[in-house]
Amino acid sequence: MDLTAIILVVTFFALLLINVPISICIGLATLLALLMHMDFTPAATTIAQQLAGGLDSFALLAIPFFILSGLIMGQGGIAKRLIECAMALIGFLPGGLALVNVLSCMLFGAISGSAVAATSAIGSFMVPEMKKHGYSENFAAAVTATASTTGMLIPPSNILIIYAIASGGVSIAALFIAGYLPGILVGLALMTVCAVYSIKNKYPVTARLPLKIVIEKVLAAFPSLLLIFIVIGGIIGGVFTATEAGAIAVIYALILSVIVYKEISLAALPGILLKACETTAIVMLIIGASSAMSWLLSFTHIPQIVSDFFLTLSDNPIIILLLINLILILVGAFIDMTPAVLIFTPIFLPVAEQFGMSPIQFGIMIVLNLSIGLVSPPVGSVLFVSCAVAKTSLHKIIKPMIPLYIVMFLVLMLVTYVPAVSEFLPRLFGLIE
């Protein structure tokens, strides 16, 4: 292996192991590796230029808007109405509360664009409710964590915007539409496990609600669900860009939470704005640092080296794509999604394209793959949030997670080897040829 790559990898993981923030890990590792090729002053200048250049993208403006709209939605009474809607629709089925948990996380994750927010907002209500009806808190926490990751695939999704930039300009609209079917498949797979687990453990089934109440609950949640149709419909129809859609999402979320639902007071808005600024700053620093590392990888021709290495291993696409997935699963267990997408897309996308995979399909594959990392120890942020919400520990949640991991991996294999899973809807809407 090239000495530059060794220094980059060793420095990065050494800093990560001593709990240095991820953006600092990436930046320092990149700087030290670049010092192998130039003196300190030009190296530092180059890193600064690449960091700033990595943020010079109009598409990135969508991220702070979607972060802000997600925070407003999280505190605006949206979660409660989505849970009540899901309970009315499927709460009477076997394992009803677990199914409601999955569906609520899917809907809230799609609206907020944040797996952590979905875990916190939905889990804080659903986990105690499931425990009250006899479900294990460990199983409830496992379901909440895994179901929340579907929001990474079901748009609007910040990580799909980041992938679009990392891949060199793949259509955001096409990626958004491509994420629906895989996201729904993950949700259905998790629901299947929940139903089987609930029947096996004889968990109670809630009574079917009268049709009148079902309609009332659905109508109460409809304004929240309408955001998805406004954002996605506008992007597909060419009415506005993803960035403009983010701004519209903020305005809609404010109207809904402050005026319609009246769950957020005007006095609370400065705190929400401050939190949005803080989150945006963290995300943007990670993006900038990751862009600098991506430039270094390109400068040292590491993607080409990796591509040539994979091509010498085998000419069988099944083996190569499986190997890429296994590497990404390992990466996702240690590295957050944003830097992982920015760093590994330039490395693995050319390899995947050599074996006939489109950038759209690869984008959905890498996001689903890294979503599994969000709920995988030792670093999985969503897993730890879910444990905190359920007041349980990591080692207790792993056993009920195993069947959920398995079905998520099976959907990942479906996305990897069946292009239509990712490409059918974009083709249907004429977003790709």
Q: Give the tens place of pLDDT for each residue, 2-46.
A: 688 888 889 988 998 888 888 899 999 999 999 988 899 999 999
DSSP 107-127: HHHHHH--HHHHHHHHHHHHH
Q: How many residues are present in the chain? A: 433
- Tell me: pLDDT of 1 over 60: no
Query: How far is Cα 385 from Cα 124, in angstroms, rounded to an integer?
Result: 10
Instruction: Please give the residue that has the higher pLDDT: either 288 or 304.
Output: 288
Instruction: Please give the residue that has the higher pLDDT: either 79 or 187.
Output: 187
112 near 79, Cβ under 8 Å? no
Q: Give the tens place of pLDDT for each residue, 67-78.
A: 888 888 878 778
Q: Which amino acid is at 413?
A: M
Measured N-to-C along each axis, helices 158-166 and 337-354 cross at an angle, to the nearest 10 degrees, of 50
Q: pTM, whole model, 2 decimals?
A: 0.90
| Residue 192's pLDDT band (cuts 50, 70, 90) | very high
Domain borders along the chain are: 1-54, 55-428
Instruction: Please give the residue that has the higher pLDDT: either 413 or 310.
Output: 413
pLDDT at residue 279 in the model: 87
Measured N-to-C along each axis, helices 62-75 and 158-166 cross at an angle, to the nearest 10 degrees, of 170
Please list, in sequence order, all residues whose beta carbon lies within 8 angstroms of the beta carbon of residue 151, skipping any fewer than 6 positions away: 105, 106, 108, 109, 110, 112, 113, 114, 115, 118, 157, 183
Q: Give the tens place of pLDDT for each residue, 37-58.
A: 889 999 999 999 998 888 888 8
pLDDT at residue 336 in the model: 84
Q: Give the tens place of pLDDT for each residue, 389-428.
A: 888 888 888 888 999 999 999 999 999 999 999 999 999 9
- Tell me: pLDDT of 366 over 90: yes
Q: Which amino acid is at 251?
A: I
Region 373-385: mean pLDDT is 82
128, with CB counted inside 10 A (0-12, 13-18, 19+), is middle
Region 253-281: mean pLDDT is 89
- Tell me: pLDDT of 177 over 90: yes
Region 235-263: mean pLDDT is 86
pLDDT at residue 407 in the model: 96
pLDDT at residue 416 in the model: 96
Region 160-186: mean pLDDT is 91
- Which range is most confident: 56-70, 85-99, 334-348, 359-373? 359-373
| Residue 324's pLDDT band (cuts 50, 70, 90) | very high
Please list, in sequence order, all residues whose beta carbon lies within 8 angstroms of the beta carbon of residue 39, skipping any fewer than 6 positions away: none
Residue in the structure block whose two tokens are 């998790």 = 190
pLDDT at residue 127 in the model: 87
189, with CB counted inside 10 A (0-12, 13-18, 19+), is buried
| Residue 179's pLDDT band (cuts 50, 70, 90) | very high
Q: Count of CB atoms within 10 A of residue 383's CB? A: 25
130 near 203, Cβ under 8 Å? no
Please list, in sequence order, all residues whose beta carbon lies within 8 angstroms of the beta carbon of residue 257, skipping any fewer than 6 positions away: 72, 73, 75, 76, 77, 78, 263, 264
Tokens found for residue 285:
């620093």
363 near 337, Cβ under 8 Å? no
Region 324-348: mean pLDDT is 89
Question: How far are the Cα atoms of 55, 242, 345, 384 from residue 162, in angstroms, in the given order?
Answer: 11, 12, 10, 24
In this prediction, what percent of the chain has a pLDDT beyond 70?
Answer: 100
- Tell me: pLDDT of 382 over 80: yes
pLDDT at residue 305 in the model: 81
Determine which of 76-85, 214-223, 259-268, 348-357 has the lowest per-residue pLDDT on average. 76-85
User: CB pairs under 8 A, 24+ apart, for 56-62?
Assistant: 57/165, 58/241, 58/243, 59/161, 59/164, 59/165, 59/172, 59/242, 59/243, 60/161, 60/165, 60/284, 60/287, 61/243, 61/246, 62/156, 62/158, 62/161, 62/172, 62/241, 62/242, 62/243, 62/245, 62/246
Query: How far is Cα 78 from Cα 258, in angstroms, rounded to an integer?
Result: 12
Query: How far is Cα 117 from Cα 96, in angstroms, rounded to an integer?
Result: 22
Q: Which amino acid is at 115?
A: A
Tokens found for residue 403:
């069947």
Region 85-106: mean pLDDT is 86
- Residue-averaged pLDDT of the chain: 87
